[in-house]
Amino acid sequence: MKRSILHMLDPMPNNSPFDVNMAVDAGFDILMPYANVKFDSVYGLTQDAIFSRGPKGVKKTALFIGGRDMGLAMDMLETTKQAMVPPFEISVFADPSGAFTTAAALVACVEETLKQQGKSLNTCKALVFGGTGPVGIATGVIASLAGAETSLVDHLSLAGAQDVAREYNRRFSSKLTGEKAGSFAEKAALIADADIIFCTAKAGIQVLSTELLMQAKNLKVAGDVNAVPPVGIEGIDPQDFAVPLSAQPNILGVGALAVGNIKYQLQQTLLRSMLKTSTPVYLDFRDAFTQARAIFQHK
C-alpha cells in the first residue's frame, strides 16, 4: 500500500519547523522538504511529483508551498496548476509563513466578535498595523474582500504601504489603501474613526498603548497576533476572546493565543483535506477564510 507523501517547497533557506510538525500531526507518512526553491524550478518539481506514482498514487501525494512572500506563493501555486497533466494531478496548499491560516483565523475571530456588537465586516473601517508584512497583507486582503474598508498601515513609509496596497488590489480585486503611522500623533489620527484594528506587527513590539486607544472613539474590536511580551496592543491578554479592555470596556479584545487556537485547527483541517479528497484541491487564503468561518459555524 502506498504511503502518503507531502513535498514541501520553500524559497527560503529553511523550511518552517512549524509546518513540518503540523504536516506530521495531520497524518502525512513522509515529508520531503525542499529549501531555496527557485520559482523556475516549481514546474519541473511538480511534474516529478505527479508522474512517479501512477494515477492511484497521486491521491496520496500533495504539495505544500511555504516562504514569506504572499505574491510569490500565489505565483508558485498557479505554476503547479499549469504543470498538472490529468489524471496525474495532486492537491496543493499555499500558506507562506503560516500567513494565510493566521490571517484567516484573525479575521474570522474578529468577525465573530463583531457579531456580539451587532456589526459585520462590511459595515466597518479596519486598520492593519504591520500591514506590509506577510500576515498583514493577507489579513488586509481577506478583510477587504469580506467588505471592510481596509487600510494597510506601515510605520516607516507611506509610499511603501500604498505600493503594497496597489499590488494586491491588482492581484485580487481588493480595495486596500495604504497609510503611515510611526508617531503617537499619526497613530492617534488614524485610529480616531476606526471600527476594527488588526495588529500583525513583529513579535515583542507594542504598537498601541492604552493611552493611544483612548483616542479611538468608534473602535469596537481589536485583534492582536503577537503573544511575545510586550503584546502588540496593550491591555489584550493572549488568551482573550471578545474580552472588554479594562481601560476601554466598549472595545472587545482578541488575543494571539485565541487566534492561534483557530489557526491550528484551520491548518490541520486543510492539510488533512488533501489526504481525504478524491479530487485534487488548490488551497490558498480564500479557502482558509472559508474554513475558519466554518469552524465558528460548527461551534
Task: Over range 61-88, report the average pLDDT.
Answer: 96
Task: Over range 150-166, report the average pLDDT.
Answer: 97
Q: For the whole model, what pTM was predicted?
A: 0.96
pLDDT number for residue 126: 98
What's the rounded Cα separation, in Å, for the pair 7 and 252?
41
Structural domain boundaries in the chain: 5-98+262-297, 102-259
Nearest residue to 275 (alpha-carbon basis) of 9, 23, 78, 17: 23
pLDDT number for residue 298: 79
40 — pLDDT class (breaks 50, 70, 90): very high
Q: Which fold has domain 102-259?
A: Rossmann fold (3.40.50)
Distances (CA, A) of 264 to 1, 26, 79, 172, 284: 30, 11, 27, 25, 16
* Segment 228-259, tens digit of pLDDT: 999 999 999 999 999 999 889 999 999 999 99
Write the CATH number of the domain with boundaries 5-98+262-297. 3.40.50.10280
Question: Residue 6: pLDDT above 90?
Answer: yes
Distances (CA, A) of 152 to 69, 105, 210, 221, 284: 16, 18, 21, 17, 20
56 — pLDDT class (breaks 50, 70, 90): confident
Percent of the chain at pLDDT exceeding 70: 100
